[in-house]
Structure 1
Amino acid sequence: MKINTVSIVGLGALGILFGHHLSKRMPKGSLRIVADKERVEKYCTQQVYCNGERCDFHFTTPEESVEPADLVLFTVKNEGLKNAIHAVRNHIDKNTILLSALNGITSEAVIGEAYGMEKTLYCVAQGMDAVKVKNELTYENMGMLCFGERNGEVDSEKVRAVATFFDEMNVPYEVVPDMYKKLWSKFMLNVGVNQTVAVHESNYGEIQKPGPARDMMIGAMREVMLLSEKEGIPLTEEDINYWLIVLSKLSPEGKPSMAQDVEAKRYSEVELFSGTVLELGEKHGVSTPINRELYERIKAKESSYN
């Protein structure tokens, strides 16, 4: 199994970041950005830029008949996943590998239900400090993609194929044996950093230094840690410390996606983060007051948009 063709659906921060990186290393047409006709027209008219460079993307619409891709990368927001799954239907056959860089803990199951879990690797994106404003993306740290099998197999045919391809393309990555725990760990990070920076309308610099914002972030993460024990995927303070080290290396001027959404007055993934935490808290009888505050403050911001 060798990866020669890649389709990316979702041209947000991650889609642009990895799309631009791959487009400079793959033959024209071997990398395809899947988008509806209206979006393609907008991208072609306004152009898309990454760190000041114009992106040279090859676009395909969902209706086009194409050769199936060896790898499909989902980089949409959670609310766009259903449409994205439908959009790539012509890009998938029995040998296609599916990789989701979405936030949260459910996208792999949703994609697997549609196309088969045997095609799907679990994945999280971490360590990037990308900021997208309109059609321009800037970043200092590219971060990496962590991926692996749900069952912990580190040398499956799919894992080897993706690892070999990423080596060839110079894409930073890590093969993780316990990917479901990694998924929960990244969810814990997002619950803390995405929501806290959004509420404080600040950036990574605000949570890299001691103070109320950093305390709020860590407190929100600890609530997820308590819930993870109830769900049978026990996270620890060691997992929190790991993410604090990762955050310390990001550009202080960078900011997570939810903070960018609030700044642009877009509706955020708050239901995916604190919304999920509150539901799990009620399910297990665990108090989650910090996430309750974050949820209410973000909802209050969003209610002012109209």
Structure 2
Amino acid sequence: MNVIKTIAIFGAGAMGAAYAGLFTDNSDIRVCFAARGDRFVRLDGATIKVNGKNYTIPVVHPDRVARPFDLILVALKHHHLTDSVLKDINALTGQNSLVLSVMNGLESEKLLGRVCGHEKIVPAIAVGIDAVHENDCFTYSNPGNIIFGNDPALPNAADTDRLERIKIALDMGGIPNEISPDIQRTMWWKFMVNVGVNQASAVLGASYRVFQNLPEARALMVSLMQEVLALARHRGINLHSSDIDQWLNVLNTLSPDGKTSMLQDMQAKRKTEVEIFAGAVENMGKADAIPTPVNSTFLNLIRVQEKTTAGKTG
């Protein structure tokens, strides 16, 4: 078994910074950020502060890589996974490289596989991490859990050694993790959670505390999730109402002051991922003839908020 000795992280936001700090503190694995252009200039030699501790994480340029990385960890926003970035990710891979995406939504593995090779992709989700980026500082109280597994529809579905390689690396980095026997179900569960809490928090301007304490906020979140549940079951995904209860249990473990990534984007006047949440739900609903009125309403609400906060009211 080839041990993972080098990791490149695409995405130096709250999640990427948290993982980079954990690998640096707890392992001998060489971890780097990967970037080009303005991002490379900003990160090269820069100090980042994670939970009050300063780190100088090396950054590699995709055009200047001497040898492939063992693991590429992709922690980008969906709209940052452009054709050029996909080529950059591929430039860091070799025959034995693995690509682990902790991005939101259901599409990143397909996009990465088309460019890097589906045999290198290990589907994954990150759940429970409450990392926040504010005032040039990154903080988190819960590192969450990375859940990953082999998709039967992809090449190397029977190769458990590659899962063990990733597990050993994450264990060394002090990052809680587990291998899922049904990764498609797991990914749909995370998608359902994101559709609920990310979008409800963005519209309400609410931290996790609001959902922990107010039944009305939880009810709004759950109504978004129930539409995903209907789609999943129609598409043969083994999700049930008890899976919403599972999320509510996770929610109660998060920092009350923690904020979802979509709320952070909204407050920073950045583009949100509403298109891969409510937008995707609406599109699947139309394709499957399943009504999705709550998500369609939130899609319009968040699109309006994005445009008005950016001063694009026409």
Band of TM-score, shorter chain: over 0.9
In the alignment, the residues of structure 2 paired with residue 224 and residue 144 of structure 1 have an alpha-carbon distance, to the nearest angstrom, of 22
1:294 equivalent among 298, 306, 314 = 298
Asked whether the equivalents of residues 45 and 57 of structure 2 are also in contact (C-alpha less than 8 Å), the reply is no
1:268 aligns with 2:260: no
Which residue identity is paired with 2:267? Answer: E
Deviation sequence 1:218-256 (CA, Å, 0-9, x none)? 010000000111222131111111111111110110011
Paired residue for 1:74?
Answer: 74
1:249 aligns with 2:292: no
Paired residue for 2:43?
Answer: 43
Asked whether the equivalents of residues 6 and 73 of structure 1 are also in contact (C-alpha less than 8 Å), the reply is yes
TM-score, normalization by structure 2: 0.93
Paired residue for 1:169?
Answer: 173
In the alignment, the residues of structure 2 paired with residue 262 and residue 285 of structure 1 have an alpha-carbon distance, to the nearest angstrom, of 31
Asked whether the equivalents of residues 64 and 90 of structure 1 are also in contact (C-alpha less than 8 Å), the reply is no
CA apart distance, 1:85: 1.8
Asked whether the equivalents of residues 147 and 176 of structure 1 are also in contact (C-alpha less than 8 Å), the reply is yes
CA apart distance, 1:26: 4.2
Deviation sequence 1:180-232 (CA, Å, 0-9, x none)? 11001100000000000000011001111233221110010000000111222
1:64 aligns with 2:68: no
Kindly report which structure 2 residues correspond to 1:1-306, keeping only aligned pairs within 5 A, or say none. 1-27=2-28, 30-44=30-44, 47-82=47-82, 83-151=84-152, 156-304=160-308, 305-306=310-311
Instruction: Name the SS for the 2:203 alignment partner.
Output: helix
Asked whether the equivalents of residues 46 and 135 of structure 1 are also in contact (C-alpha less than 8 Å), the reply is no
Uncovered stretches (5+) of structure 2, i.e. residues with no partner: none
Asked whether the equivalents of residues 46 and 57 of structure 2 are also in contact (C-alpha less than 8 Å), the reply is no
Asked whether the equivalents of residues 47 and 135 of structure 1 are also in contact (C-alpha less than 8 Å), the reply is no
Which residue identity is paired with 1:138? Answer: T
TM-score, normalization by structure 1: 0.95
Asked whether the equivalents of residues 45 and 56 of structure 2 are also in contact (C-alpha less than 8 Å), the reply is no
In the alignment, the residues of structure 2 paired with residue 213 and residue 243 of structure 1 have an alpha-carbon distance, to the nearest angstrom, of 14
CA-based RMSD of the aligned residues comes to: 1.7
In the alignment, the residues of structure 1 paired with residue 45 and residue 151 of structure 2 have an alpha-carbon distance, to the nearest angstrom, of 41
CA apart distance, 1:18: 0.3
Identity of aligned residues (%): 33
In the alignment, the residues of structure 1 paired with residue 64 and residue 47 of structure 2 have an alpha-carbon distance, to the nearest angstrom, of 22
Aligned length: 305
Which residue identity is paired with 1:21? Answer: L
Uncovered stretches (5+) of structure 1, i.e. residues with no partner: none
Q: Which of 80-89 and 9-18 deviates more?
A: 80-89
Asked whether the equivalents of residues 204 and 252 of structure 1 are also in contact (C-alpha less than 8 Å), the reply is yes
Q: Which of 249-258 and 127-136 deviates more?
A: 127-136
